[in-house]
Amino acid sequence: MTRILVVDDEELIIKSFPAVLRREGYEVVATQSSLEALKKVEQEHFDLIITDIRMPDLNGIDMLSRIREILNRNGRAQIPEICVTGYAEDWVVNKAKELHVADYLEKPFDVSYFLGRIKRVLNANRMEYFAYSQNVFIYKYVVMLTDTDQFKHMSFANYLKLMFLATDALLTPVINPAFLMTYRLKVKNSRMQFKKQSAPGDVILVKVNASEVNVSNFSLLYTFLVEGSAELVGLGRQSYELLDLKTNVTETIPEQMRNVLLPIRVEESNLVYKY
Amino acid sequence: MENTEVSSNHKTFVYDKIAVFFKHTDYHGFVHPYNFLEWMSYTREAYFSKVCEDFRAILDSPVKMMTAKVDFTNYDDAIFGDPIEAKLTIAKIKKVSFDVIIRFLNGRTKKMICETRHTLVFVDSITNGFTAIPKGLYQAVIEYQEN
């Protein structure tokens, strides 16, 4: 069973988070003390740590650094971390980024959003197939025999499919049944240029950035690279608009979706590879 | 059924063997745009097989046809059971490349659902350099070139 350590000094959080997580089938250990959390990590196995930042005895950032040291010292694998905070001071965000924590959430958020983010981090840890890193979302894909055609390369349609897969992975925290009851995310335009062929066994990294995040539409930019060689395989671009499912009229992108897009938004002129 | 329409300027290849099944639909019951890319492949390959007599020989030769660029734009939706008609024309024929334009029409609503355009380039797999469009193919596609 997936074991999650929750660290937060607020009594309300330390009761509510575990209740929600247990309902989803996770095993949860909760503590209000970051020093106590260090002991727990030393003695027990966890698949994920969810921690508050501002805590009285040792703040969340310092606690995570200490936990990493403990794991390193004992030759144990690192545990993915999600930081949760009720305030968004720059130093907190920057510190979390410096530490490359798996995810960072600002309160308040709704339960489905919270669970979506957790699921994504846990999946990323298991399959290593997507992660946030330095303002880019990375989706990893191993080219399979079923992707290739008689020319022994991955067919172009599969590259385009990869764009859709990467987009779905990016939006996992937002795309849930509640969202889908209200909204429809429609692809308006999709483009791709191919630079190099790829063969079975190649590991493709799809780096996703957002651009033109407007009121009801946004564009995603995709850079396809071969892992290891960093050779450019192709470049893609898709534009999306959000529609009201009932009226088919454009809708304002909800805050949750904006929160996924804005951390990876770039000026296209700053990208190494431009479409 | 595949057939060819002829306008005053050029021919259009029509492929109407496409229908929407459940596997093509998304969460909301609309055709996912990814399917148009697959149907784009079916249409162009049916086209080449029909108009180019030596297409199979070209495939067996060192000359390889590669998709260099794809662009598609969605206009309207299709749902389960809709018959889809793909209309193919050619544009920008150059020495080593040409563009294939495919417009998908919904047979139920009579509206254009999607327009795709992709660029094919020809490469010699021995030298890895660009090579001229094979003669048989060139002669076939020129009749389908839009102005």
The beta-carbon neighbor of B38 closest among A157, A189, A191 is A157
A137 belongs to a structural domain: yes
Instruction: Indicate if A121 and A173 belong to the same structural domain.
Output: no
Average pLDDT over residues A97-116: 80
B84 within some domain: yes
Three-state secondary structure of B14-74: EEEEEECCHHHECCCCEECCHHHHHHHHHHHHHHHHHHCCCHHHHHHCCEEEEEEEEEEEE
Residues A158, A179, single domain; the answer is yes
Regarding whether A118 and A39 lie in a shared domain, the answer is: yes
| List of chain B residues with pLDDT < 50 | none
Asked, for residue A55, whether it belongs to a domain, the answer is yes
What is the C-alpha to C-alpha distance for residues A166 and A210, in angstroms, rounded to an integer? 12
- Model ipTM value: 0.86
In a domain, B104, yes or no: yes
Residue A127 has pLDDT above 60, yes or no: no
**Structurally, how many domains does chain B consist of?**
1
What's the structural domain count of chain A? Answer: 2
Q: Answer yes or no: do A189 and B71 touch at CB < 8 A.
A: yes
Task: Please give the single-letter amino acid code of residue A156.
Answer: F
- Comparison of pLDDT for B140 and A122, the residue scoring more: B140
Asked if B41 and A155 come within 8 Å (Cβ–Cβ), the reply is yes
- Report if residue B147 sits inside a domain: no
Q: In sequence order, which residues have a C-beta less than 8 Å from that of residue B93 and are 6 or more positions away?
A: B133, B138, B141, B142, B145
Distance CA A215, CA A230 (A): 34
Q: How confident is the model at residue A41 (pLDDT cuts 50, 70, 90)?
A: very high
* A123 pLDDT more than 90: no
Indicate yes or no: CB of B33 within 8 angstroms of CB of A191: no
- Is the Cβ–Cβ distance between A135 and A264 less than 8 Å? yes
Span of A15-24, A140-149, A210-219, B80-89 with lowest mean pLDDT: A140-149
The answer to the question of residue A63 being in a domain is yes
- For chain A, what is the radius of gyration of the CA atoms? 20
Residues on chain A touching B59 (C-beta within 8 angstroms): 150
In this structure, of A94-98, A144-148, B41-45, B54-58, the range with the lowest mean pLDDT score is A94-98
Write down the pLDDT at residue B1.
Answer: 57
Reply yes or no on whether the pLDDT at A126 is more than 60. no
pLDDT of res. A215: 95
Contact between chains at A157 and B73 (C-beta distance less than 8 A): no
pLDDT at res. A128: 42
* CA distance to partner chain A, nearest, from residue B94 (Å): 18
Mean pLDDT, chain A, whole residue set? 85
What does each C-alpha distance from B146 to B5, B9, B102, B140 come to in angstroms? 13, 7, 12, 13
* Chain-chain contact of A157 with B64 (C-beta, under 8 angstroms): no
Verify that A28 and A91 share a domain, yes or no: yes
| Same domain, residue pair A140 and A262 | yes
- Residue A81 and residue A26 in one domain: yes
A40 plus A114 within the same structural domain: yes
The lowest-confidence range among A55-69, A88-102, A105-119, A260-274 is A88-102
Domain with residue A188: its CATH number is: 3.10.129.10
Chain A positions touching B48 (Cβ under 8 A) are none
Question: Does residue A93 contact residue A104 with C-beta atoms inside 8 Å?
Answer: yes
What single-letter DSSP state applies at residue A79? -
For chain A, give the number of residues: 275
> Which residue in the block uniquely carries the two structure tokens 């959080």?
A13
The answer to whether residue A275 sits within a structural domain is no
State which of A100, A127, A154 marks the end of a domain. Answer: A127
Structure tokens at B12: 């259009």
**Domain match, A143 and A224 both:** yes
CA torsion, points A113, A221, A212, A135, in degrees to nearest 10? 60
**Residue of higher predicted confidence among B31 and A195:** B31
Q: Establish if A217 touches chain B: CB-CB under 8 angstroms.
A: no
B37–A160 C-beta distance less than 8 A: yes
In a domain, A121, yes or no: yes
Q: Are B42 and B15 in contact (CB under 8 A)?
A: yes
Range of the domain at B43: 2-142
List the single residue in A with minimal CA-CA distance to B37. A157
Cβ pair A189:B28 closer than 8 A? no
Q: Is residue B90 part of a domain?
A: yes
Most confident of A197-201, A227-231, A252-256: A252-256
Q: What angle do CA B68, B72, B74 make, to 5 degrees?
A: 170
Range of the domain at A240: 132-270
Distance from CA of B8 to the nearest CA of A (A): 30
Task: Give the mean model confidence (pLDDT) for residues A50-65.
Answer: 89
The predicted pLDDT at position B20 comes to: 95
In chain A, which residues have their Cβ closer than 8 Å to the Cβ of B118? 156
Q: What is the pLDDT of residue A236?
A: 95
Using the Cβ of A184 and the Cβ atoms of chain B, whether some distance falls under 8 Å is answered with yes
A146: helix, coil or strand? helix
Of residues B66 and A109, more confidence is placed in B66
What percentage of chain A carries pLDDT values higher than 90?
33
Interface test with B, best of A149, A156, A165 (most B CBs within 10 A): A156
pLDDT for the residue numbered B104: 97
Asked if A249 and A170 sit in the same domain, the reply is yes
Q: Both A99 and A148 in a single domain?
A: no
pLDDT tens for A61-86 read 899 999 988 887 877 777 889 988 87
**A14 and A88 share a domain?**
yes
Biggest distance spanned by C-alpha atoms of chain B: 48
Task: Answer yes or no: do A157 and B69 touch at CB < 8 A.
Answer: no
User: In chain A, which residues have their Cβ closer than 8 Å to the Cβ of B32?
Assistant: 164
Q: Does A248 touch chain B (CB under 8 A)?
A: no
Q: Does B70 touch chain A (CB under 8 A)?
A: yes
Residues of chain B with Cβ-Cβ distance to A184 below 8 Å are: 28, 30
Q: Is residue A78 part of a domain?
A: yes
**Looking at A84, A112, A127, which one is the last position of a domain?**
A127
B32–A contact, CB cutoff 8 A: yes
- Residue A110 clears pLDDT 90, i.e. is over it: no
Region of poorest pLDDT, from A187-196, A206-215, A223-232, B24-33: A223-232
Written as one string, the DSSP assignment of B75-137 is -S--BTT-EEEEEEEEE---SSEEEEEEEEEETTT--EEEEEEEEEEEEETTT-SB-PPPHHH
Closest C-alpha to A210, from A266, A169, A272, A139: A266
Dihedral angle sign, alpha carbons of residues B52, B56, B57, B62: positive
| pLDDT on residue A92 | 72
State whether B74 and A160 contact (CB < 8 Å): no
More confident of the two residues A47 and B95: B95
Report residue A129's pLDDT band, with 50, 70 and 90 as the boundaries: very low
Top-confidence range, A62-76, A111-125, A151-165, B102-116: B102-116
Answer whether residue A13 is part of any domain: yes
CB of A182 less than 8 A from some CB of B? no
Cβ of B66 within 8 Å of Cβ of A194? The answer is yes
Query: Hey, are the CB atoms on B74 and A188 less than 8 Å from each other?
Result: yes
Q: Is A155–B28 a contact, with Cβ atoms under 8 angstroms apart?
A: no
B19 is a domain residue: yes
CATH code of residue B122: 3.10.129.10
Tokens of B19: 């229908």
Domain finish residue from A127, A156, A179: A127
Q: With contacts defined as CB-CB under 8 Å, which chain A residues touch B36?
A: none
Give Cα A147 to chain centroid, integer Å.
Answer: 25
Yes or no, beta carbons of B69 and A161 under 8 Å apart: no
How many helices (H) and strands (E) in chain A?
8, 11
The answer to whether residues A50 and A70 belong to one domain is yes
